[in-house]
Amino acid sequence: MFFHKRSVILVGLMSALLVSAALAHAAGPRFSVSFPKSRSEKALDGRIFLLLSNDPSAEPRMQIDDSVRTQMMFGTDVDGMQPGQAVVMDDSANGYPIRSLRDVPPGEYYVQAVLHRYETFHRSDGHTVKLPMDRGEGQHWNIAPGNFYSTPRKITLGSSDGPVAIVLDQEIPPIPPPQDTKYIRHLKIQSALLTKFWGRPIYLSANVLVPEGFDSHPNVHFPVIISEDHFNADFGGFRTEPPDPNLKPDYSERFHISGYNRIQQEEAYKLYQQWIAPGFPRVVIAEINHANPYYDDSYAVNSANLGPYGDAIETELLPAIEKQFRGIGQGWARFAYGGSTGGWESLAVQVFYPDHYNGVFVACPDPVDFRAYTTINIYSDSNAFYMMGPHTKVAQPAMRDYLGRTLGTVQGMNQYELALGSHARSGEQFDIWQAVYG
């Protein structure tokens, strides 16, 4: 009788252990993330990213994108995270491309965590919001100055029941400002309009290419060309030195071209040679930067969520550019150009500020009609993620390569943005469209 009772007890204990192990496996791995007091003595708001990679060639934080080649990321919001406080990352975190930590296969991975810091804005429209302010990097969470991150390390998932402890022991340093040269100059202003709207100083800037003879002819005024584009840390595509003969050619997957880096240097040097030639038009080209808490640019228009960026650019930044770099300062002597986002912005400034420009040159603009919201027609499509048929469905494509092969889907892009940020705080494409159009 005693032996029988003991056997029953042992069987019960073994069953409980097996059930517990099964439940732990079903819940997936857990991670605890903290930052030391040496990094910050204050509580911080933001979003923690947990990054898993099986590719040792680079840090996991540098291997995340919305293509089929991405590694894994999981995100969760933190409010008032204290130094030393352990935030648990588990299967409740939004994941990409795998939705949940519970679905990550056991095995060896390189793990890293990042705290993408938010600040609180008390806006003039009465809203108080927490958002990641751009800090000179063009809204890229993985290189944003002030963000904390951990040293990558190799782990084995599936070998331990306890949470994996990660300490955010590193901080991304500030980005040094670009330096002026003979031809490339820089301008930065504080916008009164945007500062009032956001309740804290907001800046606009420009990378300016001045013409040959700019300094030797101080009384000459020039037409101004506005380059509408994403954020640019410095003026690109212009090079005063011949291509580097020792440059190792690389391969561009986007354009399916070998040695694309050399082509870039060759074309940049050709532009310089044309720029200084006697018969070339003497004009000023200004790349304008207007990164903001939602994206790396504002789409150069006024909007309820971003504030009066259109007016700030047109009435504050452009006059400052033309004053410092001797623009003619009249609409007939000013035009804009751009492609993709810059194409949309070029169209927008000509429509909303018709007297400011004498024409715009537009290439492949972002959607100007919701009948072509990427591959979605929001008026007639019943599903944004799939093309629906009577008996089947096909994923809506979002990106393709040079052969037309699908590299990403609309659903994948939105899952990526959901992992990056809740409440439209991803800093990516669909979220900025909604912020601008909303």
pLDDT in tens, 319-331: 999 999 999 999 9
Report phi then psi at 301, rounded to 5.
-135, 165
Q: Map out the domains of the chain as residue ranges.
A: 26-171, 184-366, 372-430
Say if residue 130's pLDDT is above 90: yes
Q: How much of the chain exceeds pLDDT 90, in percent?
A: 87
| pLDDT per residue as tens digits for the range 221-252 | 999 999 999 999 999 999 999 999 999 999 98
79: Cβ contacts below 8 Å, ≥ 6 apart: 45, 130
| Gap between the Cα atoms of 181 and 184, Å rounded | 5
Say if residue 193's pLDDT is above 70: yes
Given this model, what pLDDT does residue 335 score? 96
Say if residue 16's pLDDT is above 50: no
Is the bond preceding residue 97 a cis peptide, omega within 30 degrees? yes
Given this model, what pLDDT does residue 13 score? 42
Average predicted confidence (pLDDT) for the chain: 94
Please give the average per-residue pLDDT across 398-421, as a whole number: 93
The DSSP symbol for 376 reads B
Asked whether the beta carbons of 118 and 67 are under 8 A apart, the reply is: no
Say if residue 25's pLDDT is above 60: no
Given this model, what pLDDT does residue 302 score? 98
CA-based nearest residue to 341, from 295, 401, 275, 380 = 295
Asked whether the beta carbons of 101 and 89 are under 8 A apart, the reply is: yes
Lookup result for tokens 């030639």: 277
Q: How much of the chain exceeds pLDDT 70, in percent?
A: 93
| pLDDT per residue as tens digits for the range 39-49 | 999 999 999 99
| pLDDT per residue as tens digits for the range 169-184 | 999 999 999 999 999 9
CATH number assigned to the domain covering 184-366:
3.40.50.1820
| pLDDT per residue as tens digits for the range 258-301 | 999 999 999 999 999 999 999 999 999 999 999 999 999 999 99
Say if residue 142's pLDDT is above 60: yes
Say if residue 334's pLDDT is above 90: yes
Please give the average per-residue pLDDT across 22-31, as a whole number: 69
The pTM for the full model equals 0.91
pLDDT range class, residue 26, cuts 50, 70, 90: low
pLDDT range class, residue 21, cuts 50, 70, 90: very low
- The DSSP bridge partners found for residue 225 are 285, 335
Given this model, what pLDDT does residue 366 score? 96
Please give the average per-residue pLDDT across 76-84, as a whole number: 98
CB hemisphere CA count around 320 (13 angstroms): 20
| pLDDT per residue as tens digits for the range 98-121 | 999 999 999 999 999 999 999 999
The DSSP symbol for 28 reads -
Given this model, what pLDDT does residue 267 score? 98
Pairing of strands 148-149, 170-171: antiparallel
Please give the average per-residue pLDDT across 89-101, as a whole number: 97
Given this model, what pLDDT does residue 356 score? 98
| Gap between the Cα atoms of 403 and 424, Å rounded | 32
407: Cβ contacts below 8 Å, ≥ 6 apart: 67, 68, 399, 400, 401
The DSSP symbol for 332 reads G
- In our burial notation (b when 16+ CB lie closer than 10 A, e otherwise), range 10-26 reads eeeeeeeeeeeeeeeee
CA-based nearest residue to 425, from 40, 113, 195, 94 = 94
CB hemisphere CA count around 420 (13 angstroms): 26
Given this model, what pLDDT does residue 68 score? 87
Given this model, what pLDDT does residue 8 score? 43
Given this model, what pLDDT does residue 162 score? 80
| pLDDT per residue as tens digits for the range 340-356 | 999 999 999 999 999 99
DSSP string, 258-306: ETHHHHHHHHHHHHHHHHTSTTS---EEEEEE---SSSS--TTSEETTT
Tokens representing residue 11 in the block:
């069987």
